[in-house]
Structure formats: structure tokens, C-alpha cells
Structure 1
Amino acid sequence: MIPEFSATSATPPKLWWWLLIATAAAGLLALPYYSDMAVQLDLSIIFVFALLALSMSFLWGYAGILSFGQTIFFGLGGYSYAILALNTNTTALAFAGAIVIPVLFSALLGYFMIYGRISDIYLSVITLVVTLIFEKGIRSTSGPEYVIGSVRLGGQNGIPGVPSLSLPSLDGAPMSIEGVFYLTGGFMLLVYVALRLLLTTRFGRVIVGIRENERRMELLGYDTRRYKLFAFVLAGAIASLSGVLYGLWGNFVAPEMFNLNQAAQVVIWVIVGGRSTLVGPIFGAGLVQYLTNWLGTVSVGQVTVVLGIVLMVFVLLFPRGLLPTLGDAVSALRARLFQGRKN
């Protein structure tokens, strides 16, 4: 099997992998010169969702923790950025603070679940319940009394007018659509590379070992709870970054960032792309997002039903996900060709 398509592989990236990354980076830099703003906006939101899918892929596929709470940190990141930016008028500091706040919450939530020895199934249920609590709580803040600083939470209507990111290099000017494209695409590529390299380290090997057999890793002397908590917090940080970028992309945050449909979609992206790989969920997020937009343009009323059918087809035909299945097919073809040459 191709190493990059395996969740158990700790093989350092080959030269060809670095060449692919360099090619992707070059394509990212060149694309705005050959595309209009609509294409850049569509790709930017795919990059944002790909980051959210990466957080789930790492946590579920490599650490073995199925959490429905990634949308908690996604929503917290977006709302934190909106509130901090509108209250302080400093978007760069708000950007950093909007990641720190969800990370602290993920550390607190993860500590009580993981150090409390909550089983995997109950951990999934707890994160699902906390997601519901956040969604219902945000939706019930429509009244004028629900204010943080000078910012009304807005309840169902969300918070409009989220400021664009302004950096000193831009002389304080708001970031353009092209800038958002570069920002989202750059972060997606950077996080993917960082996670891929992290999995080749001792930490990455221990995390995969815990997923395979936690009791054995404990007997070998590893504090599995500490490793699982770090993985949970890291995934929360990536999801919160995705939420901040979502707020920057649309200049708007809303309770839908927390809801169960969004939480289910993250799982669908990972299943479609393949949770045994990091790159698979990126393609899964892009494919499902493109399909969702296309179904909307052809006036299909029950988009959710169609996506559910797509998910069932992928589970039946590609139980390990699209990219791992294709990777197996390529490996089998190479082996057959090699065997044919020997004969």
C-alpha cells in the first residue's frame, strides 16, 4: 500500500511527496492570476472545510477518538474572533485570541473525559451533547440583553459585519478576497504538512500505538491519557483555526457553525476521503462541498437525502474511503506489472 495512504505508516515523506507539496504551493500562488473572484471564494471555503476535516481525520483516524465536538471548536473560533475583533478593533490579536479560547476549552473538556477514563462511545456521546448545548445556547441569545462588550450575540441571526483581517504588511487595509484565498489555502497546506511530519515522530508513533492497543502502550510505560489529551487539544486548535477563517471568509458567524448537520458533515468528509489518511479528507471535503453546491444549482430540494445516499454508496463500495481504495488499486496494479516483467 502507498505509505501516504496508511494510518499506520510512520515512514518519513519521500522526495516525490515534497515535490508534490511544492507543486501544490506553486499552483496555489499562481491560481488567482488565472481565475476570477467567484472561483477564489469557492476554493477558499473548501480550504476552510478541509482544515476542519483534517482535525477530525487526525483525531479519529490516527488517535482513534471519534468526537462530534469539532464543530464546538469551529464555532467557538468563529464567534471568539468576531467578538474580540469588534470589541478591540485589532484583528491580528483577535485572530490569536480566537484560537487560544477554544484550545483552553478543549483542554478542559478533554481533561475531564480522558482522565476520567470515559469509554470511547461515551466520549462521542458527551461531545455530541456538548455540541447540542452550544447550539441551543447560542440560538437563545436573540434578546438585546445578550451582549459581550459592545457586541450583540444575535441569536438565530448570528453576528454580521465580522471585520476582515488587517495586517501591518497591508498597512492596516482589510484583506482582499485574494488575500483570504492565500490565507486559507496556505494554512490548509501548512497544517497538512505539519500533521504528516508529526506522525513520523515518536509522538505520532505512540498515538497510533494507542489507537491500536491502548493497554499494551500503558504496559510499555506510556501515559496514554496525556498523549490522547494532547491529540484532542491539537485537533481542537485546528478546528478553531478553521472557524476563525470561516468568519473571515464570509464576514459573518452564525449558530449553524455549531449544529449537528455540520458535525455530521465533518464525519462524512472523513469517511468519503478515508480516515486512514490525511489527504483523503481534504479531497472528501472538496468533493462533498462541490456536490452540495451543484445540487443546489440544479434545484434539488432534498440535498441532505442525496448526500445520505452518497454516503451509503461510499461506505458500501469504498469502506476504507476513496483514496485508500485507489491507493490499494494502484499498488495491486504495480505489483501485477512487476510480476509480469519478472515472468
Structure 2
Amino acid sequence: MRARLGYAGGAAVLVLAAAPYFLAPYATTTLTRMLVFALLAASLDLLVGFAGLPALGHAAYVGVGAYAAAWFAKNVGSAGPVPLVIALGAGAVAAAATGWVAVRTHGVFFLMLTLAIGEIVAQAAETWEPVTGGSNGLYGVPATRIGDTPLAVAGVYWYVLAAFVVGFLVLWLVSRSPFGAALRGIRDNEPRMRALGYATRRYKYLAFVLSGAIAGLAGGLLAAQQRLVTPSDLGFTTAALALLAVIIGGSGSLWGPCLGAAVVIVVRDVVGPDIDGHGPLLLGLVFILVVYLLPRGAAGLQWPTRNRPTAPPARALEEARRS
């Protein structure tokens, strides 16, 4: 199964890498936005799907990373990938500064506390005009350069794709590591994991920081793609759409939220303008359909395999041994 997923992932990367040769510039730009939003959704899935921590303020770390990368590119230099490293570090620092409070709560309290953190950061971006540009945003961000060459539309796309692959691989390796297994145990039964000797709060805090760092990287990619950062990029709407992408795609899979992010971007940026701006209404309908028809999201679909009908479940085998 893992080998097939690896082959499918490699094939997907090859198809994505070849996309600018077959797409118009506008479609390439839309696909770039999909990759940025997919990385945000995957970083959020580390909290929602693996640690069991649904967050509504994750856009704050995207915004911190985006503002940090944009400010650095505008005032120091836009040679890549330095602004992305700055964005990743800024997201990690912001998550470390706020996560130690957030991980002390659970369930709805965690959800509301992260929402409050996101709104505080958004309000700070709105009022800290000398640095963030206030409501006008931080504009005039220079184009990302590789060497002395500024990147055009296709170049920005490949730049974003390369960073997306690196960020996704980091999340995938973490999710398949003993650390990821411990996070799943905490998600399923935190008191039992604590009784086994795991410092559950420390595990959740490290997951929160890593998730914030990857979200900051997504923010750096956002600044490189649109060359403008506004307070709306780190507001409630962005955070809610990211959580919606995780639900649509299926939490706990990483690739599912990426698929959900693509659906969100298509509905919001492609279909929405063609239906008189009713994209949010259509997204709401998609959400309702997913909740009722696909409770585990797109990643929860069970594809038939050759061996599945004849392979008894592990629980049945255990019961058979006992009898």
C-alpha cells in the first residue's frame, strides 16, 4: 500500500511539474495558489488529524510568515529561498510563543483559544501600520529572484512546487515516525498515553510548533506568489477555509487535505466569479454533502483491492485465537 502511494505521489509531482507547459498563465497562477493553500491545509492536518487538536486560528502563522518574508524581500533582498527560511522561522517562533498556552486546553476550549489568537494577530496586523502597512497591506514586494533572474509566472510556480514538496515530505516523515504514532495515540486516548509515561503536553506543543512552522512556510510562498500581504490573509476566513479543506479531504491523511484545498480554491476563485460571487454558498453545500455522504472525507473512501475480500480483520483473528 505504501509503495503504491509512493508511486502515486511521484507521478503526481511529475504531472504538476509539467503543468506550466500545457496551461495558460492564469491557470498556472491558480494552480500555484492551490499548492500554497494545500501546504497550509496539510500543516493544519498535523494538528487536526494526528494530534486531535482542531484549530481555528492557523491562518495567524501563515500571516506571520507572509509578512516576515515580504518585509525581508522588500527591505533586505528577495533572492530565494532566503525569504522562505525567514517565513518558516517566523511561523515557528509565533507558534512557540502561543502554543504553550493553547495546548493546555482541549476540545472546544482549544478551538476558541486558537480563534482568539488568530484574531489578535489579525488585529495587530491591522494596526501595526509602519511594519504591515495596516489595512492597505504590505505591497510592492519585489519578485523572487534565483541568482540575478526574477521569476516569471512559470518560475514562481516551480519555486512554490519545490517548497511544497519539501514541506509535505517533512510532514509525511513526521506522521510516519514514532513521534507521529505517539500523536495518534494522544488523539485516541490521551489519559492512557499519559499513564504509559508519555509527556502528552510536550508532544502536542512540538506538533503545534512544527505545524506553525510549515504554515509560516506557506505564508512565505503566498508572499512570493501574490507579492502582497494583507490582514485578510491571516483572518478568520482563511483559517475557516483551511479547516474546511481538511474536513472535505479527510483528516489524518495529509494528501486528503491537499485535495480539499484544491476544491476550495476552485470553488472560490474559478467557479465563484461565474456564479455571481456565490462561491461561499457553493462551498457550504459541498461541506454539507461531505458531512452526510463522506464523513471521513475524500481520503476515507475505501477503494476495492484484490486481497481485501479474503483478508480477515485483525480483531477477528484475535477472537479466533481466543476461542
TM-score of the two chains, using structure 2 as the length reference: 0.89
Q: Alpha-carbon deviation of 1:125?
A: 1.0
For these two proteins, the number of residue pairs brought into alignment is 311
Q: Distance in 1 between matches of 2:209 and 2:179?
A: 14
In structure 1, what is the equivalent of residue 108 of structure 2?
A: 121
Q: Alpha-carbon deviation of 1:75?
A: 0.6
Query: Structure 2 vs 1, CA of residues 299 and 28 (structure 1 numbering), >3 Å: closer, same or farther?
Result: closer
SS of 1:253 mapped into structure 2: coil
Q: Distance in 2 between matches of 1:299 and 1:207?
A: 42
Matches within 5 A, 1:87-236: 87-92=75-80, 93-114=82-103, 117-141=104-128, 146-148=129-131, 153-167=132-146, 171-236=147-212
Matched AA of 1:80: A
Q: Alpha-carbon deviation of 1:174?
A: 1.5
In structure 1, what is the equivalent of residue 220 of structure 2?
A: 244
In structure 2, what is the equivalent of residue 313 of structure 1?
A: 289
SS of 1:42 mapped into structure 2: helix
The answer to whether the Cα contact below 8 Å between 2:43 and 2:171 also exists between their aligned partners in 1 is no
Query: Structure 2 vs 1, CA of residues 94 and 193 (structure 1 numbering), >3 Å: closer, same or farther?
Result: closer
Query: Structure 2 vs 1, CA of residues 160 and 126 (structure 1 numbering), >3 Å: closer, same or farther?
Result: same
Q: Alpha-carbon deviation of 1:338?
A: 8.9
Query: Structure 2 vs 1, CA of residues 294 and 334 (structure 1 numbering), >3 Å: closer, same or farther?
Result: farther
Q: Distance in 2 between matches of 1:25 and 1:77?
A: 25
Matched AA of 1:127: T
In structure 1, what is the equivalent of residue 26 of structure 2?
A: 38
Q: Alpha-carbon deviation of 1:243?
A: 0.7
In structure 1, what is the equivalent of residue 59 of structure 2?
A: 71
Q: Is 1:86 paired with 2:66? A: no
Could you give the per-residue CA deviations for residues 24-79 of structure 1, whole angstroms, max 9, x where no partner exists?
23223322222222221111100000000001111100111111121000011111
CA-based RMSD:
2.1
Q: Is 1:49 paired with 2:28? A: no
SS of 1:161 mapped into structure 2: coil
In structure 2, what is the equivalent of residue 322 of structure 1?
A: 298
Query: Structure 2 vs 1, CA of residues 276 and 94 (structure 1 numbering), >3 Å: closer, same or farther?
Result: closer
TM-score of the two chains, using structure 1 as the length reference: 0.84
Uncovered stretches (5+) of structure 2, i.e. residues with no partner: 313-323
Q: Distance in 1 between matches of 2:295 and 2:275?
A: 30
In structure 1, what is the equivalent of residue 274 of structure 2?
A: 298
Q: Distance in 1 between matches of 2:274 and 2:267?
A: 11
The answer to whether the Cα contact below 8 Å between 1:91 and 1:163 also exists between their aligned partners in 2 is no
Query: Structure 2 vs 1, CA of residues 174 and 274 (structure 1 numbering), >3 Å: closer, same or farther?
Result: same
Uncovered stretches (5+) of structure 1, i.e. residues with no partner: 4-12
Q: Alpha-carbon deviation of 1:289?
A: 1.1
Q: Distance in 2 between matches of 1:241 and 1:96?
A: 7
The answer to whether the Cα contact below 8 Å between 1:84 and 1:98 also exists between their aligned partners in 2 is no
